Structure 1
Amino acid sequence: MLRSFLAGVFAATITFTGGALAQASGTAPEAKALLEKAVTAVKADEKKAIEDFNNPTGGFRDRDLYVFCAGGADNVFTAHANEKLRGTKLADLVDKKGKKLGEELIKNAAEGKFAEVDYWFPRPGQTEPVEKVTYVTKAGGQICGVGYYK
């Protein structure tokens, strides 16, 4: 009986721990790695990459990490986890404390280098802003980024 009880506690602990880990936030190295993967995808096939970035099961979302991109002459969002932002201008994006986030992302994006931009933004599915840092770069005709929450 004790053996059954301990086995149950062990199984519950593993389940709880696994669930807790699955809910953990993405890290700076994970965000950078996801952006590197996105750049490779854009360079290989930009149209397919954008489709994959917008697809929740396209391989470019991990917990609270996701790829966003903006392109064209007006730097319009072509990809974002928040569907409401797609089709809007990146330059118009302002963080929850009034920082002209979109303009800073555009200014710092450069082919072949990752810049860091910090700001306040809610986690996916939430409304309360928290500190966030985004790695941003240019790839093909896109400005792309991946951010992580502090």
Structure 2
Amino acid sequence: MAKLFKLMALVLLALGLHGSVMAAERGTADEAVAMVRKAADYLKANGRDKAFAAFNDPKGQFRDRDLYIIVYDMKGFNLAHGANPKLIGKDLMQLRDANGTLIIKEFVEVAKTKGSGWINYQWPNPVTSAVEAKSTYIEKHDDLMIGCGIYK
């Protein structure tokens, strides 16, 4: 009986550690907000060209696990995307997720009305390659929206 108890305790411990490791692979809401604020400070200190290059660097300081920076202008043009460089320079105002949500239009609405906030939608996770529930935090800075999202 004691051996069975020890075995069960080891299994439960292993499962608990596995859950902690899985959670550590994903960024948190607080980390996403902190990354947006770090990106805004970097943009202010270094200008658009240098900042956008840093935001787009897949191995740079603005990429952490599944967290990355995105930047849009208020018309829906993507100016920086830390996970998908193919989106840079494109008008994405009509971009819809799997549920039909106009994602960038939602970003613009939140930026214009509140200055910052969270938007929920479905998006491919660059780490898992699966479409997952995502929530992106957006902050308006001058004529730009800087964002970072978390996968749920």
TM normalised by structure 1 equals 0.77
Aligned to 1:140: 142
Q: Which residue of 1 aligns with 2:132?
A: 130
Gaps of 5+ in 1: 1-12
Cα-to-partner distance string for 1:45-73 (whole Å, 9 max, x where unaligned): 222111100111231010000000012x7
Distance in structure 1 (CA, Å) of the matches to 2:92 and 2:29: 22
Residue 103 (str. 1) matches residue 97 (str. 2):
no
SS of corresponding position for 1:78? strand
% of aligned pairs identical?
36
Distance 1:110 1:38, change over 3 A: farther
Stretches (4+) displaced over 3 A: 20-23, 110-113
Tell me how far 1:82 sits from its aligned partner.
Answer: 0.5
SS of residue matched to 2:59: coil
Cα separation, partners in 2 of 1:101 and 1:85, compared to 1, 3 Å: same
AA of the residue aligned to 1:96: A
From 58, 61, 73, the counterpart of 1:59: 61
Is the 2:76–2:104 contact (alpha carbons within 8 Å) kept by the matching residues of 1? no
Counterpart for residue 76 of structure 1: 77
**Which residue does the alignment assign to 1:32?**
33
Letter in 2 for 1:146: C
Amino acid at match of 1:63: R
Q: Supply the distance in 1 between the matched residues of 2:134 and 2:35 (Cα, whole angstroms).
A: 16
Structure 2 unaligned blocks of 5 or more = 1-13
- SS state at 2:107 partner: helix
In structure 1, give the amino acid aligned to 2:29: A
CA distance, structure 1, for counterparts of residue 67 and residue 112 of structure 2: 21
Q: Does 1:91 align with 2:81?
A: no
Deviations 1:67-112 (A, max 9, x none): 00012x7431111120121111131221121111111111111599
Deviation at 1:21, TM superposition (A): 6.4
- Whether 1:49 and 2:55 are equivalent positions in the alignment is no
Number of equivalent positions = 133
TM score, norm. by length of structure 2: 0.76
Distance 2:127 2:22 in 1: 19
